[in-house]
Chains A and B, each alone.
Chain A
Amino acid sequence: MSEFSIEFKDLSKLYGQATILNNLNFGIHKNKITTILGFSGAGKTTLMKHILGLTMPTSGDVIVLGTAINKLDELALREFRRNFGMVFQYAALFDFLTSFENVAFPLREFTKMNEEQIKDKVLNLLDSVGISLEAAYRLPSELSGGMRKRVGLARGLALDPHIMLYDEPTSGLDPITTHMVYDLMRDTHYNNVHHGFTSVIISHDIHATLKYSDYIVFMEKGQVVEHLDVESFKKSANPVIRRFLEL
């Protein structure tokens, strides 16, 4: 068994003449929290889209849970995506559904659970991320930014995914809410790790990354500059990383 949940093999992505990802070869450790760090335009979001199979590589492979997802056909890929949960930058909750309905959505689409079972599971998930019963029946437009992220996390967890992806999960949040969201992400990770759970975070936030991650992948101009555990990362002599750490 591989020690990695996700592996990139000779992965390159070109848009026209521009190289967005340049021959990446690394793996994301199973059951760990890995943060992909880097300045804007480093290729972080493109890398995440490759993990999800939303973008296909120009060359190379993306191996997720032992499957080369760039070689799956469309239907198999859609089926495979149920291994993922994702929290979007601005939560991306369906604005025509309440918090409850948002979390129930994947359960209604993909499971044969009856309404009573769905209700139990949704209320448990919402409770686990700190959403009250009253807030469960509000529309996303009636929730604060932090609450929306929490509902997004509950929705991402609904189908018991093996890999949880977070795209800039604390964008636009105040420092206190940022740490609450990170605490919640860490708790979620360790509550689920027993059944195989890998967390991948895309972030700019160096301080939160150092506090909450197990591994850090630092990207610049489509290449991996460093891929280290947090303690080694802090001691890295790489000038780009030193500059980032001193921000």
Chain B
Amino acid sequence: MRDMVEKRIENLGNSVLDLLNGLGDFTNFAIRTMFWTFRPPYRFKLLFEQIYFIGNKSVFIIFLTSSFTGAVFAYQIYVGMKVINADSFIGPLVTIALAKELAPVPSGLVVAGRCGAGMAAQIGTMKVTEQIDALEVMGINSYQYLAVPRILGATLSLPLLSAIFLMIGYGGSWVIGTQVLQIDDITFTSKVSDFMELGMVAEGIIKATVFGYLIGVIGTYQGFRVTGGAEGVGKGTNMAVVWGMITVLVVDFFLTSFLTKIL
């Protein structure tokens, strides 16, 4: 019995140590990539390629997600608001929710799934096929060449994707609100401009920027720590998606608590 308890405590201790080691390693990676972001050479071509991959190539899926999110949310709110005869408030409610939460968080989840996985798979494959060693032997810093453009690309693209999400989501809610639920168009739009504040949009944009940075760091970090062959690449890709999504949700909570106080 005592042996079993000791074993469990030992296992728990080892898990905590592994977690702390992983956190330390991740923090070290984040600091190093930050350092190399500000050192020449600046590879703008690689950055634009990443913005194209992360931003432009995600627009269609963002369009689909946002239009349905706005439409469905308008429907759901209508059911509740109708009971208290406040259905004319659907417009501002949906728009505020989109600006503060529903645009940055789903955009972050989409990018974590689509691009975080892509980053880890690309870098992981390069690692196991010695392409990263080849870069290093040439004297090129692999963090600067591979991680920095991806992290910056995600950091710059996600706020733009979030803004697109907000606009398309608003469009979706407008279509449902005015065309299906028969709310007056003027009422719908004027209430939105009455209740919306710049700080609400800023909150969403700040969140999206932070999510973009974290998704970029997590995706590239998981790629760099890939070991073994194809199995290792698969595992790294999976970890990038899982940790990317968890991070978006957890960090969203803390950012909301913080930003609500200051904005």
A residues apposed to B, CB below 8 Å: 52, 54, 78-82, 84, 86, 88-90, 92-95, 105-106, 109-110, 159
Any A CB within 8 A of the CB of B140: yes
Contact A54 B134 (CB under 8 A): no
Tell me how far the C-beta of A70 lies from the nearest C-beta in chain B, rounded to whole angstroms: 16
Contact B130 A90 (CB under 8 A): yes
Any A CB within 8 A of the CB of B33: no
Contact A86 B134 (CB under 8 A): yes
Name the A residues within 8 Å of B131 (CB-CB): 92-95
Any A CB within 8 A of the CB of B87: no
**Known pairs A89-B130, A90-B130, A92-B131; A52 contacts B140 (CB<8 A):** no
Which of chain B's residues has its CB closest to A74's CB? Answer: B141
Any A CB within 8 A of the CB of B133: yes
How big is chain B's contact interface, by range?
10 to 19
Q: Mark B114-127, 1 if CB is under 8 A from A, else 0.
A: 00000000000110
Which one of A80, A92, A109, A159 lies within 8 Å of B134 (CB-CB)?
A: A92
Name the B residues within 8 Å of A82 (CB-CB): 138-139
User: How distant is the Cα of A105 from the Cα of B45 in the complex, in angstroms?
Assistant: 14
Which of chain B's residues has its CB closest to A96's CB? Answer: B122
Which of chain B's residues has its CB closest to A84's CB? Answer: B137
Name the B residues within 8 Å of A106 (CB-CB): 138
Count of CB-CB pairs between chains A and B under 8 Å? 45
Name the B residues within 8 Å of A86 (CB-CB): 134, 137
Contact B139 A54 (CB under 8 A): no
Which of chain B's residues has its CB closest to A165's CB? Answer: B137
Contact B139 A81 (CB under 8 A): yes
B residues apposed to A, CB below 8 Å: 125-126, 129-131, 133-134, 136-141
Can you list 24 contacts pairing A with B, beta carbon distance less than 8 Å?
A54-B136, A78-B139, A78-B140, A78-B141, A79-B139, A80-B139, A81-B139, A84-B137, A86-B134, A86-B137, A88-B134, A89-B130, A92-B130, A92-B131, A92-B133, A92-B134, A94-B131, A95-B125, A95-B126, A95-B129, A106-B138, A109-B140, A110-B138, A110-B139
Tell me how far the C-beta of A35 lies from the nearest C-beta in chain B, rounded to whole angstroms: 19
Tell me how far the C-beta of A177 lies from the nearest C-beta in chain B, rounded to whole angstroms: 20
Contact A81 B125 (CB under 8 A): no
Ranked 7 nearest A-B pairs via Cβ: A92-B130, A81-B139, A78-B139, A92-B134, A86-B137, A88-B130, A82-B139
Tell me how far the C-beta of B52 lies from the nearest C-beta in chain A, rounded to whole angstroms: 14
Which of chain B's residues has its CB closest to A105's CB? Answer: B138
Name the A residues within 8 Å of B137 (CB-CB): 52, 54, 81, 84, 86
Which of chain A's residues has its CB closest to B135's CB? Answer: A94
User: How distant is the Cα of A177 from the Cα of B130 in the complex, in angstroms?
Assistant: 22
Contact A92 B138 (CB under 8 A): no
Extra inter-chain contacts (10) besides given A54-B133, A81-B137, CB under 8 Å: A54-B137, A79-B139, A86-B134, A88-B133, A88-B134, A90-B130, A93-B131, A106-B138, A110-B138, A159-B138
Name the A residues within 8 Å of B126 (CB-CB): 94-95
Name the A residues within 8 Å of B129 (CB-CB): 90, 92, 95
